[in-house]
Chains A and B, each alone.
Chain A
């Protein structure tokens, strides 16, 4: 199937312009990462050097993978039902845009800001820990394998969350409900990353590669499932 990059770009550009000028989306996308970063920072700054032994057995940085799991709920939750509410969905669906182009455009427009926000928050967190935490604590926290895992898992988790939230958005009739349900549906991913972060699930390289492969597969399946269930008639008429 030939997809038009021009049409995908048109959707992405339009979405990004809309998000940027939509105060509620901007605020919600800013507040979620703050919740994830402020409390850990306060705790880390207060840790004495002796805590570094315990920290060495945990993977606290991975706790922040909750950001890419939850932030997309704001934008992806809005993506379809928001358009339907403001009456802009029908004109778009009457253009030659294919469903895969439409969905990919929506997903990318949600992925870019979500991963961008997540990486920016990680960078700020790492910088703060490096500068202000006790050096022994900083050394125990800032380990390259974890930073690498965080960088790798961020888009994978965000993409999974995006497909779930787009699916919810396409079946909702209210933006807030879609966003809240999207966050709820993304919570299992947050639970798993938190359990790994606090070493409740012992992590190995093999497990990490396995989870990454599974997420990659789920992301692909999520797209295919969304595409297969995408129905212009239902979106326009609201009939189930």
Chain B
């Protein structure tokens, strides 16, 4: 597999503007807008039924949008451009979708011809090497484990050397070793400049692999770098634990630089809302020492992408119930 002309920062690989899809009265997704740069790994998160797979199918020209526009690999999303777009992208659906009676090599041969790749034998070899399946080329796909089938599907997706690779839940149902292999492969593809659109339920996967993530719940709830989203949604806090409760916490914490306020957390715990941990933490430490406090720990609270996700999705559920 070779890298593409458009490396990171070479312009958007995907531009989506106000895209919506309805099936009759049912809204699959609505008014979705985002841009993905070339070489970016973009995570697309959301609960079941949020419209992730339908979005992938729409951008992959399998489904026509109800409204909105998109540019995929430089081509406007329109029926007349379907073939040109499909030449430049590759979709790995959640279910591997392999011909189980055919061997691994026969499956890849078929798709190499459908993509009309030059020198198919060499391309198949490289794809198999990339997923570490060279020695299983002659095995029928029906005889492979779920993890190995997923790797064959990945090899199939790599055959055409796509500019944009859509991976729909690529690690669903895999064991930890197989998941690690898929993650390594995604990292390698990122190095080569392949733009990856990754839908996943695994939030730690998105956090580890993705440059940016979007959270979809029929409408796009948020988009940004994982750390940006955490900062947007949650105030930064410092958690203080002492052996015995402070006699006058108000006097200790009030007036410290970059500290907005505090609340008690248990008998000898305090949570301080801060604007900048790097400024607040040293001042806080000095104040505690000056007050003669027996400090057990001072820690910066860590909010994960999962917290962001749950906050948004649960707030949607609450709004739905009201």
State whether the Cβ of A216 lies closer than 8 Å to any Cβ in chain B: no
Contacts of B178 in A (CB 8 A): none
Q: B interface, how many residues as a size bin?
A: 20 to 34
Contacts of B102 in A (CB 8 A): 14, 17-18, 21
Chain A proximity of B10: nearest CB distance (Å): 23
| Segment of B90-98, B122-130, B211-219, B239-247 engaged in the interface with chain A | B90-98
Determine the distance from Cα of A95 to Cα of B176 in the docked complex, in whole angstroms.
Answer: 30
Task: Assess whether B101 is in contact with A94, with CB atoms less than 8 Å apart.
Answer: no
Per-residue CB contact flags for chain A residues 91-103 toward chain B (1 = under 8 Å, else 0) read 1111111100000
Q: A interface, how many residues as a size bin?
A: 20 to 34
Option from A14, A93, A95, A98 in Cβ contact (under 8 Å) with B99: A14
Task: Assess whether A94 is in contact with B63, with CB atoms less than 8 Å apart.
Answer: no
Contacts of B160 in A (CB 8 A): 95
State whether the Cβ of A87 lies closer than 8 Å to any Cβ in chain B: yes
Given A87-B95, A237-B23, A92–B57 Cβ distance below 8 Å? no
Task: Assess whether A97 is in contact with B95, with CB atoms less than 8 Å apart.
Answer: no
User: How many A-B contacts are there with CB distance less than 8 Å?
Assistant: 87
State whether the Cβ of A199 lies closer than 8 Å to any Cβ in chain B: no
Per-residue CB contact flags for chain A residues 1-20 toward chain B (1 = under 8 Å, else 0) read 00010110111011001100
Contacts of B62 in A (CB 8 A): 90, 93-94, 232-233, 236
Contacts of A11 in B (CB 8 A): 110, 114
State whether the Cβ of A50 lies closer than 8 Å to any Cβ in chain B: no
Option from B57, B86, B96 in Cβ contact (under 8 Å) with A96: B86
Given A14-B102, A17-B102, A91-B97, A7–B63 Cβ distance below 8 Å? no
Contacts of B114 in A (CB 8 A): 7, 10-11, 92, 95-97
Chain B proximity of A4: nearest CB distance (Å): 6
Q: Which of A183-240 contact B (CB under 8 A)?
A: 232-233, 236-237, 239
Option from B57, B110, B153 in Cβ contact (under 8 Å) with A10: B110
Option from A18, A87, A239 in Cβ contact (under 8 Å) with B23: A239
Chain B proximity of A103: nearest CB distance (Å): 14
State whether the Cβ of A53 lies closer than 8 Å to any Cβ in chain B: no
Chain A proximity of B170: nearest CB distance (Å): 14
Task: Assess whether B63 is in contact with A233, with CB atoms less than 8 Å apart.
Answer: yes
Q: Which of A115-169 contact B (CB under 8 A)?
A: none
State whether the Cβ of B276 lies closer than 8 Å to any Cβ in chain A: no
State whether the Cβ of B156 lies closer than 8 Å to any Cβ in chain A: yes
Determine the distance from Cα of A33 to Cα of B111 in the docked complex, in whole angstroms.
Answer: 34
State whether the Cβ of B115 lies closer than 8 Å to any Cβ in chain A: yes
Given A6-B113, A10-B110, A92-B114, A236–B57 Cβ distance below 8 Å? yes
Task: Assess whether B110 is in contact with A13, with CB atoms less than 8 Å apart.
Answer: yes
State whether the Cβ of B278 lies closer than 8 Å to any Cβ in chain A: no
Task: Assess whether B87 is in contact with A94, with CB atoms less than 8 Å apart.
Answer: no
Contacts of A39 in B (CB 8 A): none
Per-residue CB contact flags for chain A residues 66-103 toward chain B (1 = under 8 Å, else 0) read 00000000000000000000111111111111100000
Determine the distance from Cα of A174 to Cα of B275 in the docked complex, in whole angstroms.
Answer: 61
Contacts of B91 in A (CB 8 A): 90-91, 94
Given A86-B100, A232-B62, A96–B113 Cβ distance below 8 Å? no
Determine the distance from Cα of A88 to Cα of B93 in the docked complex, in whole angstroms.
Answer: 10
State whether the Cβ of B300 lies closer than 8 Å to any Cβ in chain A: no
Chain B proximity of A28: nearest CB distance (Å): 16
Contacts of A14 in B (CB 8 A): 99, 102, 106, 110
Task: Assess whether B97 is in contact with A6, with CB atoms less than 8 Å apart.
Answer: no
Contacts of B60 in A (CB 8 A): 94
The residue on B at minimum CB distance from A97 is: B114
Determine which residue in A4, A18, A88, A97 has the highest number of CB atoms from chain B within 10 A of its CB, and name it.
A88
Contacts of A98 in B (CB 8 A): 83
Option from B93, B96, B106, B113 in Cβ contact (under 8 Å) with A7: B113
Determine the distance from Cα of A10 to Cα of B99 in the docked complex, in whole angstroms.
Answer: 13
Determine the distance from Cα of A95 to Cα of B57 in the docked complex, in whole angstroms.
Answer: 12
Contacts of A22 in B (CB 8 A): 101
State whether the Cβ of B32 lies closer than 8 Å to any Cβ in chain A: no
Contacts of A86 in B (CB 8 A): 97, 99-100
Determine the distance from Cα of A214 to Cα of B100 in the docked complex, in whole angstroms.
Answer: 40
Determine the distance from Cα of A88 to Cα of B152 in the docked complex, in whole angstroms.
Answer: 13
* Interface, chain B (partner A; CB < 8 A): 23, 57, 60-64, 83, 86-87, 89-91, 93, 95-102, 106, 109-111, 113-116, 153, 156, 160
Given contacts A17-B106, A94-B61, A94-B86, 16 further A-B contacts (CB under 8 A): A7-B116, A10-B110, A14-B110, A17-B102, A18-B102, A90-B91, A91-B93, A91-B97, A91-B156, A93-B62, A94-B91, A95-B114, A96-B87, A232-B61, A233-B62, A236-B63
* Interface, chain A (partner B; CB < 8 A): 4, 6-7, 9-11, 13-14, 17-18, 21-22, 86-98, 232-233, 236-237, 239
- What are 20 A-B residue pairs whose CB atoms fall within 8 Å in the complex? A4-B116, A6-B116, A7-B116, A14-B99, A14-B102, A14-B106, A14-B110, A17-B101, A18-B101, A22-B101, A87-B95, A91-B97, A91-B111, A91-B156, A94-B86, A94-B91, A95-B86, A96-B115, A232-B63, A236-B62
